[in-house]
Amino acid sequence: MLVASLLVFFGLILLTVSADRFVSGASAVARTLGMPPLLIGMLVIGFGTSAPEILVSVNAAWQGNPGLALGNAYGSNIMNIAVILGLTALLAPITVRSSVVRREMPILLGVTGLTLLLVYHDGYLSRFDGALLLIVFLGAMGWMIRQGMNGRDTLAEAVEAEQGEPLVGRALALQLLSLLVALVLLIVASRILVSGAVTVAQALGISDLVIGLTVVAIGTSLPELASALAAIRKGEHDLALGNVIGSNLFNTLIVAGLAVVIAPVAAEPGLTSRDLPVMAALTVLLLLFAFSFRGRPRRINRIEGAALLAVYLLWLGWILWLPGPGLS
């Protein structure tokens, strides 16, 4: 039990450090190869901050623990909205101006609705369902990139503002090597984390889903938290909000999609009666907080941030202390 707990702790640290290096290296290489800032922001950074969730869930599904994989995906979504945006809004109210955010929010809401439809239709996520989620992701990303190319947006400007000089010669070779090492470390860290988390879950007599929703989801969401706090410090409020929305799109479509393509899974009772409704409710709540129905800039204020955090604490208490289907 002690060894398994240390593996989880070490895996989380290694996952966070390697994810940060992966994002930095991928952005630098993409810039050198001439990739537009918009694509760097939406694809490279979006994938990079979601890389821990992707690799952990793929490893969990591959090792026969699809419940942990789904818990990681949906738990990270809850964590992103309730904790990351809630904490960020408490520190500094988030001003919502970007039209790109207004386009992404309905997409996230629609994707969440699709997830509910697939799960509640028969209580089972099949390989067909996973493939459908992956296809929807490709379509959604293609549409958002096309829309973004038609005009400047906050995310593109923020990424472009931080760009340095393109890498050449030895510097490019070293960055490619660093990128490869970071990717290998990400894979190793995800395997360590999954192995330790499964052992802890078995020792405590709780389900893989609960471990995925709590410990693993918190750990894999650390890159998003760091990115959101950094964006707020620089006054890039839309970047903080866009990062969370983009991460949730990746989690719902790519992370969950890949997991069930590898290992189809029946939805646990706790997922359908507790976790998915909370995830959907938080998504709707974020939509209400972020949208201005009078055309004026909208702010997610401290009271709303506190409300998001309160939802998370209530949900966490529901999982950990109230008897129910989440515990085995």
Least confident of 125-129, 244-248, 260-264, 312-316: 244-248
Domain presence at residue 253: yes
For residue 138, pLDDT beyond 60: yes
User: How many whole angstroms separate alpha carbon 244 and alpha carbon 225?
Assistant: 9
Are 283 and 112 within 8 A, CB to CB? yes
Please give the model's pTM, rounded to 2 decimal places.
0.79
Q: Note down the domain range covering 301.
A: 2-320
* Residue 257 CB contacts under 8 Å (≥ 6 apart), including other chains: 130, 131, 132, 133, 134, 137
Domain presence at residue 125: yes
For residue 206, pLDDT beyond 60: yes
Domain presence at residue 327: no
**pLDDT band at residue 44 under the 50/70/90 scheme:** low
**pLDDT band at residue 159 under the 50/70/90 scheme:** very low
User: Of 80-89, 126-135, 314-323, which has the strongest mean pLDDT?
Assistant: 126-135
User: How many whole angstroms separate alpha carbon 119 and alpha carbon 126?
Assistant: 10
**pLDDT band at residue 305 under the 50/70/90 scheme:** very high
Domain presence at residue 280: yes
- Report how far apart, in Å, the C-alpha atoms of 90 and of each of 193, 261, 285, 288 are: 30, 38, 16, 17
Tokens encoding 289: 């907080």
User: How many whole angstroms separate alpha carbon 57 and alpha carbon 254?
Assistant: 10
Domain presence at residue 328: no
Q: How many domains are there within the chain?
A: 1
For residue 302, pLDDT beyond 50: yes
Check which CATH number belongs to the domain holding 111 and give it. Answer: 1.20.1420.30
**pLDDT band at residue 326 under the 50/70/90 scheme:** very low
Find the mean pLDDT for residues 130-139.
94
Domain presence at residue 325: no
User: How many whole angstroms separate alpha carbon 118 and alpha carbon 271?
Assistant: 13
CB atoms within 10 A of CB 101: 21
**pLDDT band at residue 312 under the 50/70/90 scheme:** very high
